[in-house]
Amino acid sequence: MAVVIILVMLAIILYNIVAGGMGIISWDFLSKAPEHGMEEGGIFPAIFGTVALVILMVIFVIPIGVLSAIYLQEYTTPDSKITRMVRIGINNLAGVPSIVFGLFGLGFFIGFIGRGMDTFLNNAQGPTWGQPALIWAALTLAILTLPVVIISTEEALRIIPRELKEASYALGATKLQTIRRVILPQALPGIFTGGILAISRGAGEVAPIMFTGVAYYLPYLPNKLNDQFMELGYHIYVMATQSPDVEKTKPILYGTVLVLLVLTFLLNFVAIMIRSRIRMRRVDA
């Protein structure tokens, strides 16, 4: 019964979005910038910004998350006080509301690091780093999605048979060699799962990037790390709440939602494909 309700709800939502948004989707819509106060034109800058943001986020979050998981799983004893504290910290991090991450990003990345970089680099012509930018938004999202990556990587590390590690040690391998040659390859599918989950979470978040980098409207595409950018989720929010003529922007709004959904699904799909290919390779090759 519960399953039926969920499926029906999902179907209604999807139908609503597809029916409302399908009509506007065209090559122009996907490849052009908004025009006339966003009442016409396309959403390409927002698509571009979302993809750039998510890719940067993954570049930040995967190494940090994977290294943290390896440290927790391979270098600490599970019952030690520090490990338990770190674990509690990770779980709490996962429960913090996303708007708090946005404020943290504003205060820490922009206010502290960005301003600091400006002072250090002695920028005379106003702030270059100490302002909302793509890199700060990506870093903020990376922190938001860090627990997801750590937890799924740890899960993958935990199920690696002890026998494999022992085989490696018994052949004279050091711990680092064992991690690099045996443990990491085995954990790859789990790391990808973490990446997938991080992407689905990160691509849909609006609150963390509101203060840290996203722009209402930009006439150009971001091409530097300290550029601002447009983003699909924020674009939807802007059009739904800030538009002078809601009726006129409605089709664009629906279209944008549809694109965001498809994009998220697509990113997930690609990641799942990569993951299953790795799994296949492990079994036959």
Q: Name the site residues for another protein (rule: CB under 8 A).
A: 77, 161, 163-174, 177, 181-182, 185-186, 282-285
Cβ distance to another protein smaller for residue 8 or 280: 280
Cβ distance to another protein smaller for residue 131 or 186: 186
* Minimal distance, residue 73 CB to another protein, in Å: 13
Cβ distance to another protein smaller for residue 76 or 98: 76
* Minimal distance, residue 178 CB to another protein, in Å: 8
Query: Which of 62, 27, 48, 68 minimizes the C-alpha distance to 271?
Result: 62
Task: Look up tokens 């390409």; give the residue.
Answer: 44
Cβ distance to another protein smaller for residue 86 or 262: 86
At residue 173, φ and ψ (nearest 5 deg) are -75, 145
Cβ distance to another protein smaller for residue 247 or 284: 284
Cβ distance to another protein smaller for residue 30 or 84: 84
* Minimal distance, residue 166 CB to another protein, in Å: 7
Cβ distance to another protein smaller for residue 59 or 281: 281
Question: How far apart are the C-alpha atoms of 266 and 262, rounded to whole Å?
Answer: 6
* Minimal distance, residue 274 CB to another protein, in Å: 17
Could you tell me which residues come within 8 angstroms of residue 183 by beta carbon, excluding any fewer than 6 positions away?
70, 74, 157, 160, 165
* Minimal distance, residue 279 CB to another protein, in Å: 11
Taking the CA atoms of residue 95, residue 98, residue 103 and residue 105 in that order, the dihedral angle to the nearest 10 degrees is 90
Tell me the two tokens of residue 60.
């930040």
* Minimal distance, residue 155 CB to another protein, in Å: 18
* Minimal distance, residue 280 CB to another protein, in Å: 11
